[in-house]
Amino acid sequence: MVGAVPALSVRNIGKTFGGARALKGIGFDVAPGEVHGLLGQNGSGKSTFVKILAGFHAPDPGGEISLHGRAVALPLRAGSFRKLGLAFVHQHLGLVPSLTVLENLRVSSITARRKAMIDWRAERRAGREAFDRFGIRIDVAARVAELSQVDRALVAIVRAFEELRGGEAGVGLLLLDEPTPFLPKEGVDKLFALMRQMTAHGASVLFISHDIDEILEITDRATVLRDGEVVGSLVTRDSRKEDFVERIVGRRMERFASDRRPASGKKLRARLEGVRDVRLQTTSLDLHAGEIVGLTGLIGSGYERVPYLIFGANPAQGGRLTLDGTVLDLTRITPKRAMRAGIALLPADRQRASGVGGLSVGDNLMVLALGQFVRWLHLDRGALGRRARDLCATFEVRPNNPRLPLSALSGGNAQKVLIAKWLSQKPALLMLDEPTQGVDVGTRQQLFRAIKTAAQNGAVVLCASTDFDQLADICDRVVIFARGQVVDELTGTDISKDGIAARCYASVTLASLAVGAV
């Protein structure tokens, strides 16, 4: 391999966002026919780099990227990948579920502009050949929606490979951006087998993942980013898991010295027993009055499902919640019943699930409280407006004008409105999913204050997040998930950004051991 022209060569690539250097001039090579891992935490510059490769960002001047020995013009143009011998598979795969496998697989050939007619017989043949090459059995006439998650991922990867094969470069570099988090273990094995077959055909793979076990299993070498710099270039065969964790997190971690302490002096208020669904194994938690509990893990680890299952936003396969002595069956719970029991959920998807941008701030804020403003069969709109204005003032919403559409507010102020909507109901159990996503630093503190005040008044707060900084700021306890189950728990002084990160990255092995034992 030494001496061969690298499939991808990166030199001194940097990116500055308004004075902040997200990427500080990184460099590494991907050898031809190799699977190369790329790792790093949120904020390490990993996704900025991927976006530069995808042509989404222009890098700072002075950097250089070569593909198969040829320097490419920067910024990359989104339409030129095929010619350069570069293909992407993003986490969301980019397939259209309602179309057939064939239509998805052959999309660039079918929609090519210079064709008068589609030769369906030739397309079908090409489609079948593409799968046969790797011994994959997928019906090309099936709709993508009917396929399993694993088969969808295979289709997306085969499509990327086919596009490379059709290009001038012959075979090229395949970039897989976290395709595995939502796949079961057998599915990951299939994917890895496919990746190996592709490298045998001469392709190279840049594999991005959070999962160190997967990196250890599939890659030949790996590059680790932290704080916008390359902090490690490892030959996988010669490295141990600890070497990776140390470089990702930035300090040598002590091994699994978890010391669970009871939430001292706080009264048990809620007990979650045996909640589960397709991606979450049976999970139980004891929650105390006034406690802020963080739920976290690597992406796809199942922590983010818990609030939605408790609230009845997504159906649970089992489990129950006891809140203030009331027992709720989670297989039958609906948002309405959950609310009646004093449960609140602020979803992460602000535009789709949390608030309506086209309606006014006042409407969004007061939708839960309407019943309290009925006087003599009609809504007391004056009192409603005054209450909305008061709430906006309490939660420091700027500008304080309840008649503005919600979409006119900044992300942070919109989030204040939506958190006020739920807090005004004085919930017994407040659940938040990524409450400060896309929120500026000052607003973030205001939101934290609101959450802490709710806890001080006795509410139980569950906060699902991958923002370790935020969890360290507000949580009394952080519960860590991996592969759909609780694997660790941090309390007291153990809760720090690095501490949480270290446990998240280290915990995967623990989970796979546990799974293997079952």
Partner 1 sequence: MGETSRRRIARFRLFERLALLLAWALVIAGFGIAIPGTYLTWQNFSTLFTSQAPAALLALALIVPLTAGDYDLSVGANVTLSAMVIGVLNAQMGWSLAVVLPLSLSTGLVVGAVNTFFIVFVRIPSLVVTLGTASLITGIVQWLSNSSTIGGISDWLPDMVGGGQIFGISYAFYYALIVAAAIWFVFEYTPIGRRLLFVGRGREVARLSGINVGLVRAGCLLVSGLVSSFAGIVYAGILGAADPFSGLTFLLPAFSAAYLGATSIVPGRFNPWGTLVAVYFLASGIVGLTMLGIPLWVTNIFNGAALILAVTASQFARGREEIDLG
CB of 382 to partner 1, least distance (A): 12
> Does the footprint of partner 1 cover residue 415 (CB under 8 A)?
no
Stretch that binds partner 1, among 5-13, 333-341, 448-456, 469-477 (CB under 8 A): 333-341
Would you count residue 408 as binding partner 1 (CB under 8 A)?
A: no
Q: What span, in angstroms and rounded, lies between the C-alpha atoms of 305 and 334?
A: 15
- For position 383 contacting partner 1 by CB under 8 A, the verdict is no
Decide: is 355 part of the binding site for partner 1 (CB under 8 A): yes
Distance CA 275, CA 330 (A): 7
Structure tokens that stand for 127 in this block: 């489609």
Cβ within 8 Å of residue 230, ≥6 positions away: 26, 27, 28, 223, 224
**Kind and range of the H or E run holding 23:** strand 20-30
Site size with partner 1, rule: CB under 8 A: 29
CB of 455 to partner 1, least distance (A): 22
The contact mask relative to partner 1 for 253-292 (x = CB under 8 A, - = no) is ----------------------------------------
Judged by CB under 8 A, the chain residues 300 through 319 that form the site for partner 1 are 311, 313
Query: Closest approach of Cβ 462 to partner 1, in Å?
Result: 16
Q: Which residues contact 491 (CB under 8 A, 6 or more apart)?
A: 259, 260, 261, 263, 476, 477, 478
| Of residues 134 and 373, the one with the C-beta less far from partner 1 | 373
Which residue among 261, 381, 386, 398 contacts partner 1 (CB under 8 A)? 381
Q: What is the dihedral of CA 307, 310, 313, 314, to 10 degrees?
A: 90
The length of the chain in residues reads: 518
Shortest Å, Cβ 217 to partner 1: 38
Distance of closest approach, residue 212 Cβ to partner 1, in angstroms:
35
Place of tokens 């699902």: 464
When asked if residue 398 is in the footprint of partner 1 (CB under 8 A), the reply is no
Nearer to partner 1, 297 or 362 (CB): 362
148, 204, 219, 353 from 214: Cα distances, Å: 21, 17, 8, 33
Q: How far apart are CA 192 and CA 204, in angstroms?
A: 13
SS3 245: helix
Q: Which residues bind partner 1 (CB under 8 A)?
A: 311, 313, 335-336, 338-340, 345, 347, 352-359, 363, 366-368, 370-371, 373-374, 377-379, 381
